[in-house]
Amino acid sequence: MRLHHLQVVGFGPFADPVSVDFDALSDAGLFLLSGPTGAGKSSVLDAVCFALYGDVPGDRAAAKRLRSDHAADDVAPRVVLEATLSGRRFRIDRSPAWTRPKKRGTGTTTEQARVVISERRPTDDGQHLWHPLSTRLDETGHLVTRLVGMTLPQFCQVAMLPQGRFQAFLRARSEERHALLQQVFQTGRFDRTERWLRDRRVALRRASEQHRSTVADLVSRVSEVAGDGAPDDWTSEPTCLAGWVSGLAATAAVASQEQSGHAEEAAAAEAAAAAASAAGAELAGLQAAHADARRDRAALEAASTEHADRGRRAALAQRAAAVRPLHDLALESRSAADDLERRHAASVASLAEVLGLATLDDPQVLDQHRAATRALDDLARVRPLRHEVGDVASALADAAQRRQEVGAQLEHLAARAEQVPLSLADLEPRLASAREAVTEATSLGRELEVLRSRVRAARSADALTAELAVARHELDAATHTRLLAREALVEIREQRLDGMAAEIARQLAVGACCPVCGSADHPSPASPASGAPDEATEREARREVDDLEVVVEAHAQQVRGLETRLAAALAEAGDPLDRLLAAEAEVHTRLEGARATAATVESLAERQRVLLGEQDDLTRQREALATTSSELDTEVAVLTTRLEALREQVRTVLPDGADLDALVAHHRRVVDLAGRCTDTAAGLARARDTAESTRRAADAAASEAGFASSDDAASAWLPEGELATLLTAIERHEHELARTAELLADPDLVRAGAAEAPDLDLLAETHRLSRERAATARHRDLALRDRLGRLRDLSGEVGAALTAWEPVRADLDLVGDLAALVEGKHPDNRHQMRLSAYVLAHRLGQVVEAANLRLSTMSDRRYSLVHTGQRGAGETRGGLSLLVRDDWTGDSRDPATLSGGETFVVSLALALGLADVITQEAGGADLDTLFVDEGFGSLDAETLEDVMDTLDTLRDGGRVVGVVSHVPELQTRIPAQLRVHRGRAGSRTSLVLA
């Protein structure tokens, strides 16, 4: 991957368009990305990552604030990157999601993220054009990941080496290092393997427990059926259950066969006793039937007289039954005629009472009916006229009331129409003044913001002045301390040089040659003076000087930064703080007054609109009400004329003072009563004729049946139920006579009556005892047969359950051992190391090997990284621990003991080693552009020289290396520079080439 060109607008600190020409920087091979703190050096790298992957690295991705706060509201954030990926040149144009003001109305709307990836391809005429490939976010992400060969985390670890994070990685515990390496090398599949084995072990243990529970239930059922307990060791050796169940089934088969013989013998004895008891019961039944027949015959002969009387009564009742319907009909006709006669007399009396007459005959009743009917017809024509009179009177009252209300409304509208112009004249100067205050408030607001910014700058200048004084004092103290340490180091070196002969003498061996004179004889070796320093003392003093160099440089950088910030703050403030505060208070007071006046604009303008609208409404309403008043006058006159005409029509039909409802009710009463008298008179005549004809028909039918009259026939008649009972008794008597005669003639009953009676109780007792013995034998036989069948079924179920359990137990043993092994809990895993940690330990070993190749050069062959599988202090698992070996002393120590500069060197080597391994892991992806982040300020001159030599080696093969730092020394060492300048309106960039 090689970067060519980058364009940024509205992104991060870059409000205005910014262009970075990486091709111009690539000619030098090594360039510096510099600028003050907060200018936006890291934002350049964020823009590259965002263009490629649509996201930014680290914690900045969680903030979701990619758009520049300095950009105008309508400026869309945008990043355009041209880069060569896998030998093909692409242009990626991305915009993040951002919020802009609505084009219509108020409020904001969200613009969604977008992307366009295009490829540069040659045309037939030799030109090159951009061909769009995709506008979808997901497709572009997959395409870039495939072309680069790495995901965003891998790219950030390989192409952009973050020094700060690798210090944390260097000093991290094994668990923290495990998480980071797992993310970088994507070894999650090994964690998934561990989790799968663990879940599989749990599932198999649960399945084994289910199988064991099933077998335990079957064993309990076998014990319950057979009455025998299971072997005590069956849970450890389940295979012994099969022989136990088979033995119980064989024993049950022998017992069932013996019981079957006993049941057959008891059944034969029970059958013989049953036959004897049945024969005795049959003989006793025949004897009882013969005795019953003799008793029934004697009773029938004694009731013969009563039987003859029942026959005579039944014959008379049957003849009278034919006359009874006509007799009942004659009685009903006579009763109906009498009832109608009473009702007719009552109706005539009621009509006479209503009319006030003593008596009435039928012709008079008809005359009264006709007169009342004519009177009702006349009164029916009066009622609608009276209703219409009421409606017209009500309408007239309503019209008069509405005419009065309209007049009152016209007076009110006239008064209001005179007040509205006066209110409008008073409102216009107040509204003009409020609108002028709006403009003034806007101007004062901008002036106040400028003053507040200058006040903040003045206060910051005061604080920075105090901080600068402290920082200068600390710099002087650190410089003095470093001077003392350097003097001590020079003194120690001089003392070592003075005592070098004694130091060489300590290293002489018997028979070995002197490294100075070459002689093998050492007659008088020099001895060290008391308190003379050795090599370890000098090394410790040199290490102290190096540490103090880092401290002095840090204080110097702090002083330079404070001086720069103080100068910027003073330039921005311009005036003293007290004068700025006074000006701010004055402008704030004026602004508050202008805002208070401006706040009334909306209400005053709304009031003006309301008054103008009200003036128009009043004019329209007065015109409408005048028209309505004229129409109501006409309506009142018409209704008055109509009311008088209707009242005259009512008086011609109904005299004044007469009650219409009372007259109508009287005439209706007369019509009803007269009609009722006419109807009852006609019905009475018909009823009398019917009663006489039915009486003559009933007497004729009685004479034909042999009775003197219908009354005599009615006295001989019996109810239907009583006659049926009488006939049934006659039939039953005759049937019983025939039955008893037949029984007394039966030869079997005659013989049974002559025989001796059997002892039924003895026979029944004998049969009962034999039946109980047979039932007991059968129940025992059935129980043994059932037990045998259940044992045979359970034997099959136990065998099937054991067969199903066996492979689950075998799998559980295998998976359990394997899961414990990959989790680091098995005795065979001596390092107690998880599978994923083992894989990552191999990767970490590769990283350490690659890192040591560069660390040897950068540390003057002093330091090297050591990967150890032992557990660190406070760690429960090993495999990912790191130590730093000091080849000058031969000791290995914890990375936390390194100084600041040493930590940077080791961390940088570790980062470069990890980058090399990840590049190989990702399939050998070509990374022609590489960035190394901050940390160079902690290095001394000699170490910085070694580090720069190492970075120079990264340029081999055409690779471009960008160093991100604001260290002044690097600005003189690296001529090709991309500088980022910060400002109040946003940051900008400039390109400096040698």
Tens-digit pLDDT profile for residues 476-509? 998 888 888 888 888 887 777 766 666 666 666 5
Q: What confidence tens digit (pLDDT) does each residue in 950-993 have?
A: 666 666 556 678 888 777 777 777 888 888 888 888 888 888 87
Q: Which residues contact 577 (CB under 8 A, 6 or more apart)?
A: 455, 458, 459, 462
pLDDT at position 236: 65
State the DSSP string of 459-486: HHHHHHHHHHHHHHHHHHHHHHHHHHHH
Report the C-alpha gap between 850 and 339 in whole angstroms.
136
- Which amino acid makes up residue 688? R
Task: Assess contact for 805 and 238: CB atoms under 8 A.
Answer: yes
Q: What confidence tens digit (pLDDT) does each residue in 713-738 have?
A: 777 767 777 777 877 877 787 787 77
pLDDT at position 117: 92
Residue with the larger pLDDT of the pair 540 and 353: 540
Most confident of 32-41, 110-119, 524-533, 806-815: 110-119
Report the C-alpha gap between 250 and 243 in whole angstroms.
11
Q: How, if at all, do strands 929-932 and 891-893 pair?
A: unpaired
Shortest CA distance to 221 belongs to which of 718, 793, 703? 793
Question: Does 322 score more than 80 pLDDT?
Answer: no
pLDDT at position 19: 92
pLDDT at position 93: 94
Question: Does 205 score more than 80 pLDDT?
Answer: yes
Across the range 869-883, mean pLDDT stands at 63
Q: How confident is the model at residue 515 (pLDDT cuts 50, 70, 90)?
A: low
What are residue 706's DSSP bridge partners? none
The first and second tokens of residue 581, run together, are 């505060």
Q: How many residues does the chain have?
A: 994
Across the range 137-164, mean pLDDT stands at 76
Question: Does 183 score more than 70 pLDDT?
Answer: no
Question: Does 184 score more than 90 pLDDT?
Answer: no
- Which amino acid makes up residue 550? V
pLDDT at position 77: 92
* Residue that the structure tokens 């991100």 belong to: 964
pLDDT at position 516: 65
Give the burial string for 940-950 (b: 16+ CB within 10 Å, else e).
Answer: eeebbebbbeb
- Which amino acid makes up residue 31? F
Q: How confident is the model at residue 924 (pLDDT cuts 50, 70, 90)?
A: very low
Report the C-alpha gap between 679 and 684 in whole angstroms.
9
pLDDT at position 5: 92
Report the C-alpha gap between 800 and 215 in whole angstroms.
10
Q: How confident is the model at residue 912 (pLDDT cuts 50, 70, 90)?
A: confident
What are residue 161's DSSP bridge partners? 932
pLDDT at position 874: 47
Report the C-alpha gap between 68 and 247 in whole angstroms.
89
Question: Does 282 score more than 70 pLDDT?
Answer: yes
Whole-model pTM?
0.41
Neighbours of 535 (CB within 10 A): 11
Stretch among 267-281, 336-350, 698-712 having the lowest mean pLDDT: 698-712
Across the range 126-152, mean pLDDT stands at 85
pLDDT at position 94: 93
* Residue that the structure tokens 């005036």 belong to: 575
Q: Is 841 helix (H, G, I), strand (E, B) or coil?
A: helix
Residue 501 vs residues 494, 504, 516, 524, 537: alpha-carbon distances, Å? 13, 5, 9, 11, 17
Q: Which residues contact 725 (CB under 8 A, 6 or more apart)?
A: none
The first and second tokens of residue 151, run together, are 């995901």
Q: Which residues contact 576 (CB under 8 A, 6 or more apart)?
A: 458
Strands (E), 663-807: none
How many separate helices (H) and strands (E) can be counted in the chain? 26, 17
pLDDT at position 510: 55
Q: Which helix (H) or strand (E) holds 243?
A: helix 240-302
Q: What is the mean pLDDT of the chain?
A: 77
Q: How confident is the model at residue 161 (pLDDT cuts 50, 70, 90)?
A: low
